[in-house]
């Protein structure tokens, strides 16, 4: 068979390409809509991986949220994602909303920070407790996002059907709150939330505290929620700590990603935490003492290898507990 000069030149050019450009592994990290904290985290982590791990091309993917992320992971459309500890365990075990799916496909990677339920309103709006949400116009979060599911739980307990829901993303809820088109916005996310910081620069923001009585009723029905507080000063207008509740929050990864790649990426992230703290303050609180927080699914073998190397406290107990 004769070959044209063009085909010969193209073949020669391909042989001259660097090996890494031929063998780059793509890593898509599912997050949430642009403007949410998880997107900021994913973008920062992708940048660190691209700068420090040869042969990996990582990107932060805008998604509808954590619920959508799990489905994308299960379908093989992304390789890693942000997720709550509750949804990641249920996906790994194929229980709850993931019953009937293939178990064992989604593994723990690293815990970053807890998500805290924010009940956001404006000073003078007449909302002082969650009971006051009854009958009001409430921003609930967008469909496909885990925050909307948390908002559904709260409003079902507080008001039943006696409220008007607006199921839109956080940035839109904040704009609607500022313009007087809703009375409160609910969002379960890692603090500080950038859109709320922006709102507090324009309006007098108020965070509604969660009472002990409400949390006792909530946790009796939904044990994964735990008590926490949003520290005073997190937002400009909120000087005191705000008692609330939340879930553990972090990265999960497909079992199909190689052990070597996950080891390299985990090492790169841990050695770049100071730089990542400049992307979002949550990274300043990530350490080997916190990296397992909240997880119930087993670690990816690559992450486990690195965590053993750096002596993560309780690592062997974690392995034993999650392998049952």
For residues 67 and 31, give the distance between their C-alpha atoms in angstroms, rounded to a whole number.
Answer: 10
DSSP string, 133-156: GTTSEEE---TT-HHHHHHHHHHH
Distance (Å, whole) CA 312 – CA 155 = 39
Q: How far apart are CA 303 and CA 258, in angstroms?
A: 11
Q: Which long-range contacts (CB under 8 A, 24 or more apart) does 215-221 make?
A: 215/243, 215/245, 217/157, 218/153, 218/154, 218/157, 218/245, 219/245, 221/157
* Lookup: tokens for 97: 């909303």
pLDDT of residue 6: 34
Q: How many residues belong to the chain? A: 324
Question: Around Cβ 181, how many Cβ atoms within 10 Å?
Answer: 13
Amino acid 4: pLDDT: 38
Given a contact cutoff of 8 angstroms between Cβ atoms, the answer to whether 303 and 108 are in contact is yes
Which distant-in-sequence residues (6+ apart) come within 8 Å of 67 by Cβ? 87, 97, 144, 145, 146, 149
Across the range 182-208, mean pLDDT stands at 94
Q: Is 224 exposed, middle or buried (0-12, 13-18, 19+ CB in 10 A)?
A: middle
Per-residue pLDDT reduced to its tens digit, 118-172 = 999 999 999 999 999 999 999 999 887 788 989 999 999 999 999 999 999 999 9
Reported as a pLDDT band with limits 50, 70 and 90, residue 239 is very high
Residue 226's SS3 state is strand
Q: Find the angle CA(115)-CA(45)-CA(194) to the nearest 5 degrees.
A: 45
Which of 128, 122, 100, 86 minimizes the C-alpha distance to 252? 86
Structure tokens at 208: 């509604």
The answer to whether domain 24-113+249-322 and domain 115-247 are alike in fold is yes
Q: Please, what is the average pLDDT of the chain?
A: 90
Q: For 66-110, give the DSSP string.
A: HHHHHHHHHTTS-SEEEEEHHHHHHHHHT-GGGTTSPTT-EEEEE
Tens digits of residue pLDDT in 253-280: 999 999 999 999 999 999 999 999 999 9
Query: Is domain 115-247 annotated with CATH 2.30.30.40?
Result: no
Smallest CA-to-CA distance from 81 within 127, 129, 128, 38 is with 38
Q: Give the per-residue pLDDT at 255.
A: 96
Domain boundaries in the chain? 24-113+249-322, 115-247
Q: Angle of helix 259-270 relative to helix 301-310, nearest 10 degrees?
A: 40
| Dist. CA 260–CA 268, nearest whole Å | 12
Would you say 252 and 297 are in contact if contact means Cβ atoms under 8 Å apart?
Answer: yes
The domain defined by 24-113+249-322 carries CATH number 3.10.20.30: no
Say how far residue 53 (Cα) sits from the centre of its chain: 23
d(CA 201, CA 236): 7
Question: Given a cut of 90, is residue 217 above it in pLDDT?
Answer: yes
Give the per-residue pLDDT at 24: 67
Q: Write down the pLDDT at residue 5.
A: 36
For residue 16, the model assigns a pLDDT of: 44
């Amino acid at each position: 068979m004769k070959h044209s000069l063009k085909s010969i030149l193209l073949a020669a050019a391909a042989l001259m390409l660097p090996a890494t450009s031929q063998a780059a592994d793509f890593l898509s990290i599912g997050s949430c809509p642009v403007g949410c904290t998880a997107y900021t985290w994913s973008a920062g982590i992708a940048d660190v991986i691209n700068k420090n791990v040869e042969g990996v091309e990582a990107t932060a993917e805008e998604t509808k949220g954590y619920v959508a992320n799990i489905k994308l992971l299960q379908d093989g459309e992304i390789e890693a994602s942000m997720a709550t500890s509750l949804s990641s365990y249920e996906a790994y075990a194929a229980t709850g909303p993931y019953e009937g799916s293939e178990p064992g496909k989604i593994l723990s990677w690293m815990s970053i920070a807890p998500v805290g339920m924010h009940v956001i309103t404006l000073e003078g709006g007449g909302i002082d407790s969650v009971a006051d949400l009854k009958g009001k116009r409430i921003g609930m979060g967008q469909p496909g996002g885990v925050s909307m599911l948390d908002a559904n739980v709260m409003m079902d307990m507080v008001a039943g059907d006696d409220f008007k829901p607006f199921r839109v993303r956080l940035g839109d809820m904040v704009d609607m709150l500022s313009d007087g088109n809703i009375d409160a916005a609910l969002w379960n996310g890692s603090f500080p939330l950038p859109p709320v910081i922006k709102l507090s620069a324009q309006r007098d923001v108020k965070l509604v505290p969660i009472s002990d009585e409400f949390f006792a009723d909530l946790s009796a029905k939904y044990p994964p929620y735990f008590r926490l507080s949003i520290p005073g000063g997190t937002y400009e207008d909120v000087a005191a700590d705000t008692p609330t509740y939340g879930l553990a929050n972090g990265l999960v990864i497909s079992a199909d990603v190689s052990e070597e790649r996950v080891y390299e990426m985990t090492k790169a992230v841990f050695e770049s935490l100071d730089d990542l703290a400049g992307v979002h303050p949550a990274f300043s609180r990530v350490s080997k003492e916190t990296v397992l927080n909240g997880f119930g699914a087993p670690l990816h073998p690559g992450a486990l290898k690195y965590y053993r190397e750096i002596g993560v406290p309780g690592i062997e107990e974690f392995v034993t507990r999650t392998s049952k």
